[in-house]
Structure 1
Amino acid sequence: MSRLLVLLFLALSMGLAHGADVRGEEVTYTDNGTTLKGYLAYDASASGPRPGVLVIHEWWGHNEHARNQARRLAELGYTALAVDMYGDGQVADHPQDAGKFAGAIRQNRELMMKRFTAAENFLRSQTQADAEKVAAIGYCFGGSVVLEMARSGADLLGVASFHGALATQNPAQSGEVKSRVLVLHGNEDPMVPAEQVEGFKKEMDAAGVSYHFVGYDGATHSFTNPAADEAAKKFGMPVGYNAEADQKSWGELERFLAETFGN
């Protein structure tokens, strides 16, 4: 089926022609005593549970970018949870703080998996979500998180990484990855150089993973976030928004989720 037909079928099957009534709710859940503050977005006009999608934030923390993406997914008919990986909804305003927050999770894989699983269990328990159909997407730091979860054999139908790191100390093993994998990458991203890309592809091929990799010329790190240009100017970071790559990568995600959930 062509991409156009897949997206058309998705829209019709989810009733988008009649308009979605998107709601967003502040939610809390816990991981071993740590309070986590998420954001649940769903279409209140929908009848019955819908496939669920976890949205993992950039290294800045659970901010408006993650919530915006959750709302966009709800407009497509999914039930989306913008996840809090740091605890207490912490958000960094400076790269040094963001690096500390992200590093504490990246360097503790057990903690990463617990924080992710707490969010996954919460989403599966919601009446608006189909507990049997769950996927995850992530941005930058979040992209690396969802890929690690796939490598770990998490029971997810699919994961999608937007401008996320691809290197790992725990490479995928043959037969262990249950998720379909989508990687959306900026070809000019200095934080994820070509050798890391090639290493990732070799890893996926060796493990027999069903994956699709798309690179966008002219796009650098954080190409989906309009706030990236401000961060680049303020902190001299090699990041930047790219409207074309943002639009095209979202289209790839729509197709990927439609195919993953069998819509």
Structure 2
Amino acid sequence: HPKDAKAFMEQALSEPEKLTARFNAAKTILRDQQYVDDDRIFAVGYCFGGGVVLEQARKGNDLAGVASFHGTLGTNQRAGEGDIDARVLVATGQADPMVPADQVSALVEELTQAGAQFQLLSFPGVQHGFTNPKADDTGKRFELPLAYDKEADLVSWEALMDFIEQP
């Protein structure tokens, strides 16, 4: 339910140190796996998770890259020059009221000033949740501006695969 999701998000964001500790604990578990290349760890997030992975990049967390899909882009602590080591991929819907144009332009400015290597995909007419085939039903059920977009979903997925394959 959106109210539960919002409460979870607000609680998690109110304790950024705890959020980073959980992120790093998960990364440690991943790194302990036999076939994981320690130098090629990527963090991919959708919606709230998209905002989380961007924050980890801003903090200089040791990652090869981060990818955010219809994630929140705003921050209270912008990255400074040289803070972001991870490559960044952002896929967003141009018609997403949850991620307004000013957040997108502020992110581009921030990443540029930080000297980050990044790609931005902005899909015209596409709303929030565009990668989720159940977004239309969820949007109607809870009266939210959610909509699946097959083309944006496919293009953004291919971009992610290319992003990860880059050396």
Q: TM-score range by the shorter chain?
A: over 0.9
Once residues 224 and 216 of structure 1 are traced to their aligned partners in structure 2, the CA distance between those partners, rounded to angstroms, is: 12
The residue number in structure 1 matching 2:48 is: 141
- Report Cα offsets for 1:100-133 as digits up to 9, x if no partner: 1111112221111011111100000011322232
Please, which of 97, 101, 105 is the counterpart of residue 194 of structure 1?
101
Larger of the two Rg values belongs to structure: 1
1:180 corresponds to which residue? 87
1:223-249 alpha-carbon deviations (Å, 9 max, x no partner)? 001121111111001111111100000
Instruction: Output one character per residue of 1:114-156: Cα deviation in whole Å (capped at 9) or x when no partner.
Output: 1111110000001132223211110000000000000000000
**Superimposed CA distance per residue, residues 174-193 of structure 1 (whole angstroms, 9 cap, x where no aligned partner):** 11211000100101100111
Aligned: 1:233 with 2:164? no
3-state SS in 2 of match to 1:212:
strand
Query: What's the TM-score once normalised by structure 2's chain length?
Result: 0.97
**For residues 240 and 106 of structure 1, what CA distance do their matches in structure 2 show?**
26
Cα-Cα RMSD: 0.9
Q: For 2:82 and 2:39, how far apart are their aligned partners in 1?
A: 21
Greater helix percent: which structure? Answer: 2
Q: Partners of 1:118 and 1:199 in 2: how far apart? A: 30
Query: Match for 2:64: what amino acid?
Result: L
- Partners of 1:187 and 1:219 within 8 A in 2: yes
Report deviation, 1:173: 1.2
CA positional deviation for 1:218: 2.1
> Where does residue 16 of structure 1 map in the other structure?
none
5 Å-filtered alignment, 1:80-229, equals 94-229=1-136
**Map of 2:156 onto structure 1:** 249
How far, CA to CA, are the matches of 1:187 and 1:125 in structure 2? 39
User: Cα distance, 1:202 vs. partner?
Assistant: 0.8
Q: 1:156 touches 1:179 (CA, 8 Å); kept in 2?
A: yes
Structure 1 segments of 4+ aligned residues over 3 angstroms from their partners: none
Q: Is the 8 A contact 1:125 1:131 kept in 2?
A: no
- Residue 194 of structure 1: CA displacement? 0.8
Q: Distance between the aligned counterparts of 2:83 and 2:102, measured in 1?
A: 24
Alignment partner, residue 57 of structure 1: none
SS at match of 2:39: strand
Structure 1: any 5+ residue segments left out of the alignment?
1-93
What letter matches 2:94 in structure 1? N
Confirm or deny: 8 A CA contact 1:224 1:243 kept in the other structure.
yes
Whether the 8 Å CA contact 1:160–1:253 is kept in 2: the answer is yes
| CA distance, structure 1, for counterparts of residue 103 and residue 83 of structure 2 | 22
- Return the alpha-carbon distance in structure 1 between the equivalents of residues 13 and 124 of structure 2: 28
2:155 and 2:14 mapped to 1: Cα distance?
32
Q: Is the strand fraction higher in 1 or 2?
A: 1
- How many aligned positions are there? 167
